[in-house]
């Protein structure tokens, strides 16, 4: 009904106020518990049982579980909390909550409750995993109960889980008895496979009810799951904590910054009014500071904690399992700090002490970029085990290099459960870890690595020689594949070319699927040990580098119309040389480094003409070069020694796409390895080395006179462009360096 008051203005306000007044006078506020409670739920054994909810202010609330009951009075906001005494596993029980109305939950069990969280590999449902149909058909466990939390991110902490649509089935935010039907409900083929296999193992070994809470979201970053208290606990994340505080309207930091912003706005408003009266231009409106915005995307810090974790606490838990990291895999060692924040934050908001937290190390997979960068990330994940009461399941042997979602979730769940059975439930006979590094010793031209967690000994998973061990010499060269031999609880490492080994590393590549295990069948994870000699990337990665002498060293951040080398050794070097080499390094903003080294038979006898081909240098080459040796970490580059098909395009000129030199595999239509120089002589400029047999640009430094808008690249720019002409991308690299070397006769 629409009401009209004097003046003819239509309002809804009268009805709204009247209805609220009636409610306040008659005490009709609804008695309510959060959705983490429900029929068929499991409550944590051996811990005080906490219940909370909302009702009328001042209302007396009684909570009864079987014969045990407690009463309390709701506060002025209608909030109440009751704690019942801890119980041992058992049930079913009836939970009755009474006030002005009554809520009854049937079939309540007491047992072990675990929270499972993370991104898609924890989210992946049982139906999408290995042997899904058979596992679903066998998933008939009346004493395992499942709670699937609906996906929701929020700018502020939520007091309850998201409500479903009225009248529709509720596969989410509702406790379910584990049956073939219930475990396959909801998206991506059902309940978390890893969590289910974890819970099933606990249920079968402990013979108690198990409650599993699945709070997962694919593709999400760890900081989104982290509460503010977690960021506050980790000094390395201070700047992120400050941003979280600024985005929270309840903090003093937000209030202070907002007050400053409002003052600026008021000054602008006053100036704008004056300008309007004087018919002058109004000054620019101040921009609202972005740092005052709350989380506004699923990936923002605290967003998923607010929507999916905060509503669960303080529901008592035994602990948490976690499978996440793919979305943070480019952060290297920082991930340890992020794990500290997540774990400390969750433990603080639950106020249950250092509850167990077991997690999965991400699997080998082509994550892109430099393949070795994942070694540091795996190391960071392993280092998080220094946090009390944590443990990591290694899965290097059950991944899928072509699928970021390995289908074998049975072993994932069982390995997590092994940690819990051994460390949380005290089953001493359970072997829960694969071999872990203990000590490194030097024995002449060999290294000996000692291991913990060897069970009854070390073994090769496939019966073949051990893989993915590398060692490095004290004097020269980079890491070299090692001959690795098991001797008791140790592995000895050697290589014919390594005379003075000083350091080693294991599984230090994203595609590493090493075969070292213990006799219990659990694999070893990536690690490194020893003191790596302080040698730069060139000496570490290029075996022949020691035979070459540096001519030019150029910091490419200094590109411009005039080329000034940081090092110019022409005057100190012998005039005669038979090979020329180029080493280009490009570092991205995230620290990822691309490099390419190429050497070839000398194409000139002048040191002046092997550098950047300026007009002053007199360099002008469009020709083949022989016997390429190529080393690179950029995917797709054809590497090797004595390669054919090399050609260079060195000139200071403008150039076009015509293939007048008739370079094999080159096109007349696009810029590639068969371009034609043109006037003016001092023009765009090209310094490119190609492998036309492979239809590849090895590297390009073009248009150097434009500085940050120069063209820099290793490999082909993309599927349609084999060179980097017009890329104008030099500014994207945070560091860039070119070295030019020769081998003297």
State mean pLDDT over 368-387. Answer: 94
State mean pLDDT over 23-40. Answer: 77
- Predicted confidence at residue 170, as pLDDT, reads 65
471, 503: one domain: yes
Q: Is the pLDDT of residue 535 over 90?
A: no
Question: Given pLDDT bands bounded at 50, 70 and 90, which one contains residue 168?
Answer: low
Question: Given pLDDT bands bounded at 50, 70 and 90, which one contains residue 165?
Answer: low
Residue 60 within any structural domain of the chain: no
pLDDT in tens, 316-330: 999 999 999 999 998
Angle between helices 373-383 and 334-350 (to 10 degrees): 30
- Predicted confidence at residue 338, as pLDDT, reads 98
- Predicted confidence at residue 186, as pLDDT, reads 79
State mean pLDDT over 684-694. Answer: 97
Residue 39: name the closest of 132, 149, 173, 230 by CA.
173
- Mark which of 530, 559, 593 sits at the end of a domain: 530
Does 370 or 345 have the greater pLDDT score?
Answer: 345
Domain with 714, as residue range(s), is 537-744
Question: Given pLDDT bands bounded at 50, 70 and 90, which one contains residue 169?
Answer: low
Which residues lie closer than 8 Å to 494 by C-beta, 6 or more apart?
445, 446, 447, 471, 482, 483, 501
637, 509: one domain: no
Question: Given pLDDT bands bounded at 50, 70 and 90, which one contains residue 14?
Answer: very low
CA distance 268 to 264: 6
Question: Given pLDDT bands bounded at 50, 70 and 90, which one contains residue 175?
Answer: very high
Report pTM: 0.85
% of the chain exceeding 90 in pLDDT: 90
Question: Given pLDDT bands bounded at 50, 70 and 90, which one contains residue 368?
Answer: confident
514, 576: one domain: no
Per-position b or e across 512-538, b if 16+ CB within 10 A of its CB: bbbbbbbebebbbbbbbebebbebebb
Least confident interval from 118-122, 473-477, 677-681 = 473-477
Residue 296 within any structural domain of the chain: no
- Predicted confidence at residue 62, as pLDDT, reads 98
Q: Is the pLDDT of residue 477 over 90?
A: no
State mean pLDDT over 618-635. Answer: 95
State mean pLDDT over 392-405. Answer: 97
Residue 389 within any structural domain of the chain: no
546, 621: one domain: yes
503, 458: one domain: yes
- Predicted confidence at residue 390, as pLDDT, reads 98
Which tokens belong to 208?
């108690």
Neighbours of 69 (CB within 10 A): 13
Residue 171: name the closest of 147, 145, 142 by CA.
147
Residue listed under structure tokens 């990822």:
592
608, 474: one domain: no
Residue 289 gets the label, from left (phi > 0), alpha (psi -120 to 50) or beta, of beta
Q: Is the pLDDT of residue 360 over 80?
A: yes
State mean pLDDT over 649-673. Answer: 95
State mean pLDDT over 474-500. Answer: 95
519, 633: one domain: no
- Predicted confidence at residue 328, as pLDDT, reads 96
Neighbours of 79 (CB within 10 A): 13
Number of domains comprising the chain: 2
Which tokens belong to 49?
């049982």
Residue 18 within any structural domain of the chain: no
561, 631: one domain: yes
542, 524: one domain: no
Strand partners, 699: 689, 714
For the CA atoms of 715, 717, 721, 725, the dihedral, rounded to the nearest 10 degrees, stands at -100
Residue 165 within any structural domain of the chain: no
Beta carbons of 150 and 161 less than 8 angstroms apart: yes
CA distance 38 to 51: 12
- Mark which of 480, 505, 530 sits at the end of a domain: 530
- Predicted confidence at residue 177, as pLDDT, reads 98
Residue 551 within any structural domain of the chain: yes
Q: Is the pLDDT of residue 362 over 60?
A: yes
Least confident interval from 26-40, 402-416, 585-599 = 26-40
Residue 481 within any structural domain of the chain: yes
703, 586: one domain: yes
- Mark which of 469, 499, 530 sits at the end of a domain: 530
For the CA atoms of 8, 9, 15, 18, the dihedral, rounded to the nearest 10 degrees, stands at -90
State mean pLDDT over 386-392. Answer: 98
557, 693: one domain: yes
Residue 521 within any structural domain of the chain: yes
Which tokens belong to 497?
């070319």
State mean pLDDT over 406-432. Answer: 98
State mean pLDDT over 162-190. Answer: 85
642, 512: one domain: no
């Amino acid at each position: 009904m629409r009401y009209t008051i004097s003046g003819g203005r239509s309002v809804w306000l009268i009805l709204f106020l009247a209805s609220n007044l009636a409610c306040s006078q008659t005490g009709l506020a609804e008695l309510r518990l959060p959705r983490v409670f429900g029929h068929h739920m499991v409550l944590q054994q051996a811990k005080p049982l906490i219940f909370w909810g909302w009702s009328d202010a001042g209302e007396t609330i009684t909570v009864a579980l079987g014969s045990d009951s407690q009463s309390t009075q709701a506060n002025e906001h209608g909030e109440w909390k009751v704690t019942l005494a801890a119980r041992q596993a058992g049930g079913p029980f009836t939970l009755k909550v009474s006030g002005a109305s009554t809520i009854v939950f049937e079939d309540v069990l007491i047992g072990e409750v675990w929270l499972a969280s993370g991104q898609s590999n924890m989210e992946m449902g049982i139906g999408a995993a290995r042997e899904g149909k058979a596992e679903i058909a066998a998933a008939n466990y009346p004493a395992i109960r499942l709670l699937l939390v609906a996906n929701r991110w929020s700018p502020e902490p939520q007091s309850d889980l998201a409500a479903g649509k009225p009248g529709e089935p509720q596969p989410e935010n509702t406790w379910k008895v584990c049956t073939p039907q219930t475990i396959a409900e909801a998206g991506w083929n059902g309940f978390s496979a890893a969590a289910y296999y974890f819970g099933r193992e606990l249920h079968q070994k402990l013979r108690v009810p198990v409650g599993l809470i699945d709070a997962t979201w694919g593709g999400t970053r760890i900081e989104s799951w982290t509460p503010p208290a977690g960021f506050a606990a980790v000094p390395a994340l201070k700047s992120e904590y400050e941003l979280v505080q600024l985005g929270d309207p309840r903090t003093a930091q937000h209030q202070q910054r907002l007050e400053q912003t409002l003052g600026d706005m008021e000054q602008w408003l006053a100036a704008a009014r004056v300008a309007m009266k004087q018919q002058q231009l109004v000054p620019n409106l101040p921009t609202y500071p972005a740092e005052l915005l709350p989380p506004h995307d699923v990936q923002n810090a605290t967003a998923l904690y607010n929507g999916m974790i905060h509503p669960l606490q303080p529901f008592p838990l035994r602990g948490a399992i976690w499978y996440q990291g793919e979305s943070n895999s480019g952060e290297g060692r920082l991930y340890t700090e992020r794990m500290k924040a997540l774990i400390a934050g969750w433990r603080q908001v639950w106020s249950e002490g250092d509850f167990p937290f077991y997690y999965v190390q991400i699997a080998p997979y082509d994550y892109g970029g430099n393949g070795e960068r994942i070694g540091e990330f795996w190391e960071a994940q392993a280092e998080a085990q220094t946090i009390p009461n944590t443990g990591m399941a290694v899965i290097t042997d059950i991944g899928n290099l072509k699928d970021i979602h390995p289908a074998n979730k049975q072993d994932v769940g069982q390995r997590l459960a092994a940690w819990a059975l051994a460390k949380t439930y005290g089953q001493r006979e359970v072997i829960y870890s694969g071999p872990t590094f203990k000590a490194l010793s030097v024995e002449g031209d060999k290294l000996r690595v000692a291991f913990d967690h060897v069970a009854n000994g070390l073994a090769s998973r496939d019966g073949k020689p051990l893989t993915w061990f590398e060692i490095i010499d004290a004097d020269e060269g980079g890491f070299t594949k090692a001959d690795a031999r098991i001797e008791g609880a140790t592995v000895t490492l050697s290589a014919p070319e390594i005379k003075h080994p000083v350091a080693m590393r294991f599984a230090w590549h994203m595609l590493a699927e090493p075969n070292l295990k213990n006799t219990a069948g659990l694999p070893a994870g990536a690690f490194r040990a020893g003191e790596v000699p302080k040698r730069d990337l060139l000496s570490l990665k290029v075996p022949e580098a020691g035979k070459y002498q540096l001519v030019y060293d150029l910091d490419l951040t200094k590109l411009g119309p005039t080329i000034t080398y940081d090092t110019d050794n022409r005057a100190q070097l012998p005039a005669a040389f038979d090979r020329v080499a180029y080493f280009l390094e490009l570092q991205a903003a995230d620290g990822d480094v691309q490099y390419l080294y190429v050497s070839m038979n000398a194409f000139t006898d002048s040191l002046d003409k092997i550098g950047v081909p300026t007009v002053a240098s007199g360099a002008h080459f469009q020709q083949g070069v022989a016997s390429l040796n190529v080393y690179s970490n950029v995917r797709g580059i054809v590497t090797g020694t004595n390669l054919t098909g090399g050609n260079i395009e060195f000139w200071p000129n403008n150039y076009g796409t015509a293939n007048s030199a008739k370079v094999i595999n080159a096109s007349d239509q696009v810029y590639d390895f068969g371009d034609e120089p043109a006037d003016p002589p001092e023009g765009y400029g090209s310094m490119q080395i190609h492998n036309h047999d492979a239809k590849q640009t090895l590297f390009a430094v073009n248009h150097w006179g434009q500085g940050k808008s120069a063209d820099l690249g290793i490999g082909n720019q993309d599927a349609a462009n084999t060179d980097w002409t017009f890329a104008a991308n030099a500014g994207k690299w945070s560091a860039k360096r070119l070295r030019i070397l020769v081998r003297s006769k």
